[in-house]
């Protein structure tokens, strides 16, 4: 079951359960579409790619609530780009 995290890890933008801007990697690192573009589509945590996060239907939110956990870890873009160049 996806956690459906509430914000972008980099910029802390709100990404509610029905956001069309939310992107996740295979470990559910969650970023907004703008930050994913800046990250060159590569997760700074695991190195994987991103996909559009599915939207949980509103009628299932009571039974399967979304996460309240905010993970806010702004990316050091210089290090991220350097790591991409070295791979």
In this prediction, residue 87 carries a pLDDT of: 85
Distance CA 33, CA 23 (A): 6
Residue 11 lies in a domain: no
CA distance 48 to 26: 7
71: how many CB neighbours lie within 10 A of its CB? 17
In a domain, 4, yes or no: no
Say which residue the tokens 């780009």 belong to. 81
Q: What is the pLDDT of residues 12-30, one digit of tens each?
A: 999 999 999 999 999 999 9
Place of tokens 């956001």: 19
Whether residue 12 is contained in a domain is answered as: no
**Assigned domain for 62 exists:** yes
Mean pLDDT for the chain? 97
Per-residue pLDDT, 76 = 97
Range of the domain at 65: 22-86
**Domain total of the chain:** 1
Residue 20 CA to residue 14 CA, distance in Å, equals 11
What per-residue string of b and e applies to 29-51 under the rule 16 or more CB within 10 Å gives b? bbbbbebbeebeebbbeeeeebe
């Amino acid at each position: 079951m996806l956690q459906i995290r509430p914000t972008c890890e980099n910029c802390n933008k709100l990404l509610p359960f029905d956001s069309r801007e939310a992107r996740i990697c295979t470990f559910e690192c969650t970023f907004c579409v703008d930050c994913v573009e800046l990250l060159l589509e590569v997760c700074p945590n695991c190195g994987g790619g991103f996909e559009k996060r599915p939207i949980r239907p509103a009628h299932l939110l009571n039974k399967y609530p979304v996460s309240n956990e905010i993970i806010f870890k702004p990316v050091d873009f210089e290090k991220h780009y350097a790591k991409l160049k070295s791979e």
